[in-house]
Amino acid sequence: MASERVQRRIERLLDQIEEAADQRDWEAVWEMAEEVLGFAPDNGDAAAVREMAVRYRSRWESRVKHDFRIWWSKHTSNLIHQSHTATPPKVVRQDWQECKRCLE
Number of domains in the chain: 1
Look up the domain containing 43 and give its range: 4-103
The full DSSP string for 34-97 is: HHHHHH-TT-HHHHHHHHHHHHHHHHHHHHHHHHHHHHHHHHHHHHHHH---SSPPHHHHHHHH
d(CA 92, CA 74): 11
- The two most distant CA atoms of the chain are separated, in Å, by 68
Reported as a single tens digit per residue, the pLDDT across 3-30 is 899 999 999 999 999 999 999 888 899 9
CA 15 to centroid of chain Cα atoms:
19
Q: Which residue, 85, 102, 84, 82, is CA-closest to 94?
A: 102
Mean pLDDT lowest among 32-36, 53-57, 60-64: 60-64
pTM of the model: 0.56
